[in-house]
Structure 1
Amino acid sequence: MDFMKPETVLDLNNIRNALVRMEESIVFALIERSQFYSSPSVYEPKKYIPNFDGSMLDWFLLQVERTHSQVRRYEAPDESPFFPDDLLPVILPSIEYPKILAKYSDEINVNDEIKQFYINDIVPRVSCKDGEQLENLGSVSCADIDCLQVISRRIHFGKFVAESKFQNDKETYTQLIKNKDVEGIDASITNKAVEDKILERLIVKAEGYGTDPSLRYSQNKQSKVDPKVIAQLYKDYIIPLTKKVEVEYLMRRLEDDL
């Protein structure tokens, strides 16, 4: 997949390969997060950072995005910042990417929902213990940022899926969009067999990556993160939010004659 060559980005085989690779990144990120306590104070607004209304995680993530924005990270069409209104001008020469997505694509951003379900539902289930580790607040925040960014990239990759499907069947999607048929669009992008395969693959990956190889054949082997938790994360949040992004993108697709 080469973002300077739109045809490679909208190739469904290339998209599938990218999504499969992101599964591994998400599994590894959650495994890294699992070594720390839940550390609820990291997510508490106005707890540690003076003159800042958000949480320590918010502040840390904002600093990371502001820094990364200066070296062009958010010029890339596959990146969706959590703080799009607070980025800094780029220092490096800008890259003129060819137009791949519709002009409104940046307006489709579900990062607030991602952060909410991550903090409320994922952190308690993957943390090694409940409670605080004051000496690890920075490490917890770093691990959280890695998880949030890779989950966000995976979910917002739905825009490329949506554009590819539109390009491959303009007549059908044009009619669905004109009819404002949200259910029809949702049905057209849903493949239960593929979704089930993703969940099966995730369990295998989580078992393999999260288990000490020397315990592979042990009766008492334990994964660092319960593989079923990661599969449930995909089933309950990542897959539905990806489809939400696809539907929102497609519902507006006739706004842009790409």
Structure 2
Amino acid sequence: MDFTKPETVLNLQNIRDELVKMEDSIIFKFIERSHFPTCPGVYLTKNPDLSIENFDGSFLDWALLHLEITHSQLRRFESPDETPFFPDHLLRPILPSISYPQVLASYAPQVNYNEKIKATYIKQMVPLLSKYDGEQNENYGSVATRDIECLQSLSRRIHFGKFVAEAKFQNDKELYTKLIKSKDIDGIMKNITNSAVEEKILERLVKKAEVYGVDPTNKEGERRITPDYLVKIYKEFVIPMTKEVEVEYLLRRLTDDN
């Protein structure tokens, strides 16, 4: 997939291939997070043991914000497949801009589910991923770093729903125009859902978790991740949120001239 070539970006097979690659990235980042406990203090808005001057958010928010500021100067968020968690705090890139052709609708950056992704990750995924439930203050920095890697990978994967939605719209404009005009959310959801593809994703995740989740040098076969929780994360959170992104994107599609 080449973002300078629209014909490659809106090819559904190319999109699916890219999503398969993302699975590996997400799994390995989950494995890195699994080495640490939950560390709830990392997510507290007001942690009595951790005071950050002139900042009201959590330690994770602080770390993520400052990393995104730096990454924005490296033009990360000029790429159409990147969605920032703090879009109002980005700086202009130091590197010269890349002129990407407009593949998505002009409002695409406004379809931003990162707050929901972050809340779901902290409340639902961290307890599944963590080594145990508890604090480990000396590893706050490592935990926040691993969390950021997980969040950025999840965000990219879920927001790829915009490319899926645009590709499906282009492939059947008549159908989606009718559904959008009638604001038929159920109809849109039905037509963007491919149960067979979703089942293949879950089956593939089980196999990958079985292979990647065990350290072959560990004689006791201790698992770092399990197929059960990996499937749960995708089935209950990642896939549904991706489809929410698709629906929101499509509902506004007729307002754009692209």
Interval containing the TM-score (normalised by the shorter chain): over 0.9
Moved over 6 A (4+): none
Q: Which residue in the other structure is 2:17 paired with?
A: 17
Q: Which residue in the other structure is 2:32 paired with?
A: 32
Alpha-carbon separation, structure 1, partners of 2:46 and 2:94: 31
Q: Which residue in the other structure is 2:113 paired with?
A: 110
| Counterpart residue type for residue 233 of structure 2 | L
Look up the SS of the partner of 2:17 in the other structure: helix
> Where do residues 174-189 of structure 1 align in structure 2 (5 Å cutoff)?
174-189=177-192
Q: Which residue in the other structure is 1:46 paired with?
A: 46
Look up the SS of the partner of 1:60 in the other structure: helix
Alpha-carbon separation, structure 2, partners of 1:106 and 1:64: 19
Deviates more, 1:14-23 or 1:189-198: 189-198
- Of residues 123, 144, 155, the one that matches 2:158 is 155
Alpha-carbon separation, structure 2, partners of 1:223 and 1:56: 29
Alpha-carbon separation, structure 1, partners of 2:117 and 2:20: 19
Q: Which residue in the other structure is 1:256 paired with?
A: 256
Unpaired segments ≥5 residues, structure 2: none
Alpha-carbon separation, structure 1, partners of 2:9 and 2:46: 41
Contact 1:72 1:94 in 2 (8 A): yes
Q: Which residue in the other structure is 1:243 paired with?
A: 243
| Counterpart residue type for residue 189 of structure 2 | D
Query: Are 1:221 and 2:224 an aligned pair?
Result: no
| Counterpart residue type for residue 98 of structure 1 | P
Alpha-carbon separation, structure 2, partners of 1:153 and 1:133: 29
Alpha-carbon separation, structure 1, partners of 2:211 and 2:247: 34
Q: Which residue in the other structure is 2:207 paired with?
A: 204
Look up the SS of the partner of 1:100 in the other structure: coil
Q: Which residue in the other structure is 1:73 paired with?
A: 76
| Counterpart residue type for residue 110 of structure 1 | Y
Query: Are 1:82 and 2:85 an aligned pair?
Result: yes
Q: Which residue in the other structure is 1:232 paired with?
A: 232
Look up the SS of the partner of 2:97 in the other structure: coil
Unpaired segments ≥5 residues, structure 1: none
Q: Which residue in the other structure is 2:98 paired with?
A: 95
Look up the SS of the partner of 1:122 in the other structure: helix
Give per-residue Cα distances to partners, 1:117-142, cap 9 Å, x unaligned.
Answer: 10011111111011111111000000
The normalised TM-score by structure 2 is 0.96
Cα deviation, residue 96, structure 1: 1.3
The normalised TM-score by structure 1 is 0.96
Cα deviation, residue 68, structure 1: 0.1
Alpha-carbon separation, structure 2, partners of 1:222 and 1:167: 47
Alpha-carbon separation, structure 2, partners of 1:195 and 1:11: 18
Look up the SS of the partner of 1:98 in the other structure: coil
Contact 1:206 1:223 in 2 (8 A): no
Query: Are 1:173 and 2:206 an aligned pair?
Result: no
RMSD: 1.1
Query: Are 1:61 and 2:39 an aligned pair?
Result: no
| Counterpart residue type for residue 137 of structure 1 | Y
Cα deviation, residue 40, structure 1: 0.3
Alpha-carbon separation, structure 1, partners of 2:252 and 2:89: 26
